[in-house]
Chain A
Amino acid sequence: AAGVIQSPRHLIKEKRETATLKCYPIPRHDTVYWYQQGPGQDPQFLISFYEKMQSDKGSIPDRFSAQQFSDYHSELNMSSLELGDSALYFCASSLSSLAAQPDTQYFGPGTRLTVL
């Protein structure tokens, strides 16, 4: 079965540079979520999109932005990178997040961002 695809899997950047992470949800899934997992920490919710509109916002820095495109893939744009942005960034997708019954979120393998 198709899973969530994330690219790149690894990314190394310098401080103050920008980075773009991509996420391709499971086909027919209409909701995409972004999480950040720091070393030895639990995943923290950043932002989500439902049907190409931002649906929820968590602890996402102002330096970060994201969008969901017409083909439902999503991109997380990160600017003015800081050392503390080094983390594993997960994308998850689900179907009909606004439905009465919560659907399961399926996670991608993550993008490991290292800021030097």
Chain B
Amino acid sequence: AQSVAQPEDQVNVAEGNPLTVKCTYSVSGNPYLFWYVQYPNRGLQFLLKYITGDNLVKGSYGFEAEFNKSQTSFHLKKPSALVSDSALYFCAVRDRASGTYKYIFGTGTRLKVLA
């Protein structure tokens, strides 16, 4: 079965510093990986996805993620954090075992950017 793990419940980073939110995956076959952000009382907003091609994927709001096959990781990164980036971040893998593509989400990582 497909799964993703987000080992950190919370990440704190100072504004202006680089940030990394970790995600590791376990899939059979080619992985299709996604990052979403959730602000309080809001829906999930799509940030970026990896399907194939370049290991470095660029997404919305200056975020990027690096796909590392040998380490089965898909860490989310941003060179310079903003206070407004503070939110809950979910990594997800597409489960294609049944023919349609539901997402399996990680447990989420709360990012806190300190001014």
A42 touches B105 (CB 8 A): yes
Q: Does A94 contact B (CB under 8 A)?
A: yes
A48-B100, A56-B98, A102-B51 given as contacts; is B107 within 8 A of A42 (CB)? yes
Among A65-73, A77-85, A107-115, the stretch that binds chain B is A107-115
A residues in contact with B49, CB < 8 Å = 102, 104
Q: Total interface residues on A, using CB and 8 Å?
A: 30
B90 touches A43 (CB 8 A): yes
Which residue on B lies nearest to A40, using beta carbons?
B108
B residues in contact with A102, CB < 8 Å = 32, 49, 51, 94, 96, 101
B residues in contact with A109, CB < 8 Å = 42-43
6 A-B residue pairings within 8 Å (CB atoms): A42-B107, A97-B101, A102-B51, A105-B101, A105-B103, A109-B43
A42-B108, A102-B32, A104-B49 given as contacts; is B43 within 8 A of A48 (CB)? no
A43-B44, A90-B44 given as contacts; is B103 within 8 A of A98 (CB)? no
Cα distance A4–B108 when bound, in Å? 22
Which of A4, A33, A55, A107 is in CB contact (< 8 Å) with B36?
A: A107
Interfacial residues, chain A to chain B (CB-CB below 8 A): 4, 31, 33, 35, 41-45, 48, 50, 55-56, 58, 90, 92, 94, 97-98, 101-110, 112
A107 touches B44 (CB 8 A): yes
Cα distance A104–B45 when bound, in Å? 11
Q: How far is the CB of B22 from chain A (nearest CB, A)?
A: 15
B residues in contact with A97, CB < 8 Å = 100-101
Which of B42, B100, B103, B105 is in CB contact (< 8 Å) with A55?
A: B100
